[in-house]
Amino acid sequence: MTTADLDNTGILLAIRDLRVELPAPIGEETFTVVDGISFNVHRGETVALVGESGAGKSMTAAAVMHLLPDDAIVAGSIELDGRELTRLSERELVRVRGREIGLVFQDPSTALNPMYTAGWHVTEAVTLTRGLRRKAAVDAAREALVHVGFPAERFDAYPHELSGGMRQRAMLAIALAGEPKLLIADEPTTALDVVAGARIRAVLAELRRERDLALLVISHDLPMVAELASRVVVMYAGEVVEHGPTSAVFGAPAHPYTRDLLECLPPLGGHGTRDQKHRLAVIPMPDGPPGEGCRYAPRCRDVIQACRDEHPSMRPTHGGEARCILVPEAEAAR
Ligand SMILES: Nc1ncnc2c1ncn2[C@@H]1O[C@H](COP(=O)(O)OP(=O)(O)OP(=O)(O)O)[C@@H](O)[C@H]1O
Ligand code: SF4
Ligand SMILES: [Mg+2]
């Protein structure tokens, strides 16, 4: 952890050495999908978790919400406001979900029940998290929907009658119904077209300003990350390989993987349309479990023999850290 991260004041979510193992599809073995990751989210701060498909981003979010498959093995610590979440009972966790942490799922089309209207979903969420009576809950649901730019007249629309952008707004209203301190948004714009994505970005930016909401945004949409997040955490093959202030990580990435990701993109802040160029490249993972050395070695253009001998530890960068032996051990490299 860096000096910035060791500053305990204002930490809302603290993840330490989080490890998630899942049963392998065949046999008795397990495979590790999140491997000893640590990072903080401070109150009112926006942190982005980025990395290619399969890096373990959604599994990290699922671990925080205690929504992993039943046979998952979890180790490490997840503290919310100083309270250890991994030791809470299911009953206590029900109170945390929605009231303290809101979650926008990666796939909004499967998160809404097609049998019920947008208004019903948000009313249910308000009732469960705030215990309001029916009339007050309906009023609060209307207010929550309007707050995220969902048109009031579509309150009784069913999910299939809504555009992707409107479904995503309904999901946001559900996640925010209990007035949580932390919102985890897993790919909030990825399934949307450029206009709908830009509107969701604007809604998130406004929510952050208005409510002092902490936001953990998981995204391939790096222009959104650059706009919203003050810090970035880069994951590769279940590990954090770099983290730091967004301007430093995007401006002068220290880890070769971060550099390769950014090179797949048009210049940040440009006016390109949101298309494949804005997504992180999906490069196939090497076969089999990671070996002893650096996990990025099979794909790294800067690899040297020493990279294959030993697993690199985190080394300090300007305001952050990177897991690469080419980053000088003690002094900031940039
Ligand atoms: N329900 C599941 N059961 C078994 N393995 C899973 C399950 N969900 C994900 N995995 C595996 O866990 C690893 C991490 O997946 P995860 O969904 O966290 O990736 P991600 O970083 O969110 O990727 P994406 O950008 O595609 O959403 C992958 O190897 C994936 O195949
Ligand atoms: S440790 Fe070596 S292989 Fe790994 S990212 Fe650094 S230079 Fe590349
Ligand atoms: Mg995911």
The model carries a pTM of 0.90
H-state helical runs in 177-304: 194-211, 222-228, 246-251, 256-263
% of the chain residues with pLDDT over 70? 87
Q: Ligand 3 centroid to 135 CA: how many Å? A: 37
Q: How far is it, in rounded angstroms, from Cα 315 to Cα 2? A: 9
Among 325, 327, 329, the mutation site with the greatest number of ligand 2 atoms within 8 A of its Cβ is: 325
Residue bearing the CA closest to ligand 2, atom 3? 297
Q: How far is the C-alpha of 304 from the C-alpha of 252, rounded, in Å?
A: 21
**Ligand 1 atom nearest to 52, measured from its CA:** 25
The CATH code belonging to domain 3-100+180-322 is 3.40.50.300
Show me where the domains of the chain are located. 3-100+180-322
Q: Note the pLDDT of residue 212.
A: 83
Residue with the larger pLDDT of the pair 30 and 157: 157
Residue 214 near residue 13, CB atoms below 8 Å: yes
Residue in 18, 58, 295 to alter for ligand 1 test, most ligand atoms within 8 A of Cβ: 58
**Residue 62 has which token pair?**
């699922």
CA distance 167 to 152: 14
3-state SS assignment for residue 104: strand
The H or E element that residue 144 is part of is: helix 134-147
User: Do the Cβ atoms of 197 and 222 come closer than 8 Å?
Assistant: no
Count CB-CB contacts under 10 A for residue 328: 11
Per-residue pLDDT band for 118 (boundaries 50, 70, 90) equals: very high
Mean pLDDT of 264-288: 50
Question: What mean pLDDT comes out for the span 190-208?
Answer: 85
Question: b/e map of 44-60 (b: 16 or more CB within 10 Å)?
Answer: bbbbbbbbbebbbbbbb
DSSP secondary structure of 164-194: HHHHHHHHHHHHHTT--SEEEEESTTTTS-H
- Each residue of 65-79: pLDDT tens digit? 999 998 999 999 999
Average the pLDDT over each of 120-124, 199-203, 243-247, 321-325 and give the range with the smallest value. Answer: 199-203
- Please report how many Cα atoms fall inside a 13 Å half-sphere around the Cα of residue 178, on the Cβ side: 23
Residue 312 contacts residue 230 (beta carbons within 8 Å): no
CB 307 within 8 A of CB 323: no
Closest to 229 in 3D by CA, of 241, 214, 240: 214
Which pLDDT does position 108 carry in this prediction? 66
Q: In terms of DSSP H, where are the helices of 40-101?
A: 57-65, 90-99
Pocket of ligand 1 (CB under 6 A): 22, 33, 51, 53-59, 69, 106
Q: How far apart are CA 276 and CA 28, in angstroms?
A: 38
**Residue entry with tokens 């051990």:** 329
Q: Which ligand is nearest to the CA of 296?
A: 2
For residue 187, the SS3 value is coil
Find the angle CA(307)-CA(310)-CA(311) to the nearest 5 degrees: 90
Compute φ and ψ for 13, nearest 5 degrees.
-115, 125
Query: So what's the pLDDT on residue 50?
Result: 96
Q: How far is the CA of 106 from the centre of ligand 3 (A)?
A: 6
Going by DSSP bridges, is the β-strand pair 315-316/321-322 parallel, antiparallel, or unpaired?
antiparallel
User: Over 70: is that where the pLDDT of 63 sits?
Assistant: yes
What are 27-43's pLDDT values in tens digits?
778 899 999 999 999 99
Least confident range from 75-79, 153-157, 268-272: namely 268-272
Ligand 2 atom closest to Cα of residue 301: 8
Pocket of ligand 2 (CB under 6 A): 255-256, 294, 296-297, 300, 302-303, 307, 312, 324-326
Collapsed DSSP state (helix, strand, coil) of residue 75: strand
